[in-house]
Structure 1
């Protein structure tokens, strides 16, 4: 009988501990929110709120609106396929997110696997051109006549040198595993005084 009473007591204590843990876990989110707001830690939550006396949310302070960079787009393709940017250029501020589409069509009568390789001009802009999404990250298989549109989402780092006002992003699209003609072989020069036969 005494053992039974002890077991009931223990189950009661465990039930109280379990209820307390559940209540603490449930209250943890509002507690965290209030502590972060009081200390100014949760920057995203604070940035999404309306500023008193303002009619809009706080602006993204990472965008340098004092500068405008022209980004030009170029497309090169080796082989019978159509590849081009949807627009020739855009103007962006450093730190501003921009997205541009590239159009591709496999005009061959067979399936192909292809990939794009980017290059930048001027060269010192390469480290400051940050692609968040790009078709150049993957290889693609396209059926005969298939058309695709792919995005390039990018941000130009505000630390881009001040003398750079135009960046050219160029892609070369090539077939993966396709037949590439061999490089030309240079003929050996003829010995002095003898004409080649």
Structure 2
């Protein structure tokens, strides 16, 4: 190797190290960047994970909002998970209930946790759940099934231009993490 080739190898190593460091830094910045992207585009709306109070809410009968429900299970979650009613038309302020069905066909007990997201994301601020299976872990014995209600109302302050939104529930198997918490507390 000649003396003129050695500096080029050194520059290449420096460039490759800089690329690796940049990729590592981008990986750390990805979560906040994703949150900013979701806020700007209005996708993947996060809902409150606490029960709303339905007291003194005025129903706006002059308009109707269509709420669509989608269910899915995370990979590795063997449950069957469906919604009885895919779409509901409600007046803002009107209380509604939708039932979800879960069945555990596995040969072992499983604890599930449903995580909601709303699209467009802005609508998540106006979806008020007074009762929801997503507030708690859902244990199901092997072969068992359950009907899980969700009671909600759409806040009358929902912007007029939002006439339709989608609520998606993704069901995760949290059996191992629940067992780990129980072991650490006991």
Interval of TM-score (by shorter of Structure 1 and Structure 2): 0.5 to 0.7
How many residues of Structure 1 are paired with residues of Structure 2 in the alignment? 120
Give the distance between the partners of 2:98 and 2:57, measured in 1 at CA.
23
Structure 2 residues without counterparts, runs of 5 or longer: 1-55, 178-186
Structure 2 residue 129 is matched with structure 1 residue 127: no
- TM (normalized to structure 2)? 0.62
Matches of residues 104-183 of structure 1 in structure 2 within 5 Å?
104-178=102-176
Corresponding residue of 1:57: none
- Superposed CA deviations along residues 44-83 of structure 1, whole A, max 9, x for unmatched, are xxxxxxxxxxxxxxxx881101110000000010221100
Q: Tell me which of 84, 99, 102 is aligned to 1:101.
A: 99
Q: Displacement of 1:177 after TM fit?
A: 3.5
Give the distance between the partners of 1:89 and 1:105, measured in 2 at CA.
21
Give the secondary-structure state (helix, strand or coil) at the position aligned to 2:96. Answer: strand
- TM (normalized to structure 1)? 0.59
Give the distance between the partners of 2:80 and 2:57, measured in 1 at CA.
40
Greater relative contact order (CA < 8 Å, ≥ 6 in sequence): 2
Bigger Rg, which one? 1
Q: Displacement of 1:116 after TM fit?
A: 0.3
Runs of 4+ in structure 1 off by over 6 angstroms are none
Question: RMSD of the TM alignment (CA)?
Answer: 1.5
Change (3 A) 1:125 1:61: closer
